[in-house]
Amino acid sequence: MTRHAPVLAARGVTRRFGRVTALADATLEVHGGRVTCLLGDNGAGKSTLIKVLAGVHPPTEGRVEVDGRPVAFASPRDAQRHGIAVVYQDLAVIPLMSVWRNFFLGREPTVGRGPLRRLDTAGCRAATREALDAFAIRIDDVDRPLGTLSGGERQSVAIARAVHAGARALILDEPTAALGVRQSGLVLEHIRRVRDAGVGVLLVTHNPKDALAAGDAFVVLRQGRVVAAEAAPAGMGLARLVELMSGGGPQS
Ligand SMILES: Nc1ncnc2c1ncn2[C@@H]1O[C@H](COP(=O)(O)OP(=O)(O)OP(=O)(O)O)[C@@H](O)[C@H]1O
Ligand SMILES: [Mg+2]
């Protein structure tokens, strides 16, 4: 049962906020080594779904599964412990701190004991360098303040950081929304590398071109409901995807 189970899944998830039903009976699977794109208009329920998957909101009905087993996350930290990582659009970073300090923010390794315990700065620098190189992210100097990197580079560092911290399912909320064409291309390339390393990626996007460039499967939400869920058939074109997004009939 668990052998080919998705790393992360929502099964029949409904989430209400008072009288508002933000999500209605939504099912979605994130598989290792695959990019699943979550598409939908403003207010469709995308953020609500990723918050349920990331332990921010408990589902009102339905359940979340990790490796095919039901889980009830007590908090986002609890979800992290299960290998679920989210890179939100407003990256949780400190712009004036160096790239490597941000890379290890919240999980700083130390050397020495007792009163001599201190941050392993040399180790952090080397590990950051190595992790960025592994994903072909070209940043000349890990001592640069993170705020001096381009938007695309910052996204890429945030993604590499989550993978380095052990993410098995990586949720990206509109990672290319604020980027130009070239920068978007770099981030999408980086997402494909993370996917090829075996991580299950859930890519939230408004942009069908970005979805086609990186997606292996597509889930479309409308008014809180999944209206389409398709593995990308070879040669799926932009026209078909746009049709799915804009009302291409009930779920097949
Ligand atoms: N905490 C909340 N309290 C009340 N209503 C909420 C809450 N969070 C979301 N909603 C409502 O649920 C619906 C879905 O919102 P959600 O943020 O999930 O959409 P979205 O697809 O992420 O939209 P966008 O593309 O604009 O980010 C909206 O009608 C929204 O107003
Ligand atoms: Mg949203």
Give yes or no for a contact between 194 and 201, defined as CB atoms under 8 angstroms apart. yes
**Protein residue closest via CA to atom 4 of ligand 1:** 17
| Proximal ligand: closest to the CA of 16 | 1
pLDDT digit string (tens) for the chain, length 252 residues? 445 899 999 999 999 999 999 999 999 999 999 999 999 888 999 999 999 999 999 999 999 999 999 999 999 999 999 999 999 876 767 888 899 999 998 888 888 888 888 888 999 999 999 999 988 888 999 999 998 988 888 888 988 888 888 899 999 998 888 888 888 898 899 999 999 999 999 999 888 888 988 999 999 999 999 987 877 766 678 888 888 777 655 444
Angle at 110 (CA atoms; ends 97, 166), nearest 5 degrees: 75
List the domain range (segments joined by +) for residue 77: 8-245
User: Quick check: is 250 in a domain?
Assistant: no
Q: Is the CB of 19 under 6 A from ligand 1?
A: no
- Contact between 36 and 211 (Cβ < 8 Å): no
- Decide if 175 is inside a domain: yes
From atom 6 of ligand 1, which residue's Cα is the shortest distance away? 17
**Count of domains observed in the chain:** 1
Asked if residue 173 is part of any domain, the answer here is yes
Asked whether 205 lines ligand 1 (CB < 6 A), one says: no
pLDDT in tens, 93-145: 788 889 999 999 888 888 888 888 888 899 999 999 999 998 888 899 999 99
CATH of the domain at 161: 3.40.50.300
Tell which one of 21, 38, 39, 47 to mutate to probe ligand 1, the residue whose CB is within 8 A of the most ligand atoms.
Answer: 47
Ligand 1 centre and the CA of 204: distance in Å? 14
Q: Rounded CA gap, 25 and 241, in Å?
A: 22
The reply to whether ligand 1 has any atom less than 6 angstroms from the CB of 40 is yes
Any domain includes 25: yes
In a domain, 251, yes or no: no
Distances in Å between the alpha carbon of 177 and those of 182, 183, 210? 13, 11, 10
What is the model's pTM? 0.88
H/E stretch holding 36 reads strand 35-39
Report how far apart, in Å, the C-alpha atoms of 163 and of each of 99, 103, 104, 216, 220 are.
16, 11, 12, 19, 26
Instruction: Classify residue 114 by burial, with Cβ atoms within 10 Å: 0-12, 13-18, 19+.
Output: exposed
